[in-house]
């Protein structure tokens, strides 16, 4: 990156700069697949994960872990959390409702 040399998408994947490479003409389908996958997830938990990621710049691990400890009980009170546990125990796909 710092050498100003162009590199291929596959090189970027090999180096861990990107997590997925799609073929030419496959971007729209890949984006749709990702959007559907995210839409099927528990929205509150995703929002909390995003906040945790934004908070990860905290100066110490202790601050970050303290924040995580505040978030976990909130997530555990959601209907989606209970659905996730039930679906795992029943070995079936989860049906999250965003609550």
Q: Are residues 56 and 83 in the same domain?
A: yes
- Tokens found for residue 52: 């945790």
pLDDT tens-digit map of 63-80: 888 888 988 999 999 999
Q: The domain that contains 77 carries what CATH number? A: 1.10.12.10
pTM to 2 decimal places: 0.62
Angle formed by the axes of helices 61-76 and 43-55, nearest 10°: 170
Residues 15 and 32 placed together within one structural domain of the fold = yes
Q: Tell me the per-residue pLDDT of 6-57, one tens digit each, with 9 for 90 and over.
A: 888 889 889 999 988 998 899 999 999 999 998 889 988 888 888 888 887 7
Element (H, E) at 83: helix 79-89
Which structural domain, as residue segments, surrounds residue 54? 42-99
Question: What tokens does 77 get?
Answer: 């009170």
Element (H, E) at 23: none
80 burial type by CB count under 10 A (0-12 exposed, 13-18 middle, 19+ buried):
buried
């Amino acid at each position: 990156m710092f050498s100003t040399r162009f590199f291929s998408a596959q090189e970027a994947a090999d180096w861990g700069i990107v997590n997925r490479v799609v073929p030419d003409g496959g971007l729209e389908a890949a984006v749709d697949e990702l959007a559907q996958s995210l839409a099927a997830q528990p929205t509150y938990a995703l929002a909390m994960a995003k906040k945790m990621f934004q908070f990860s710049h905290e100066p110490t691990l202790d601050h970050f872990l303290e924040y995580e400890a505040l978030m976990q009980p909130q997530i555990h009170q959601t209907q989606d959390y209970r659905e996730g546990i039930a679906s795992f125990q029943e070995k079936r796909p989860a049906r999250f409702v965003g609550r």
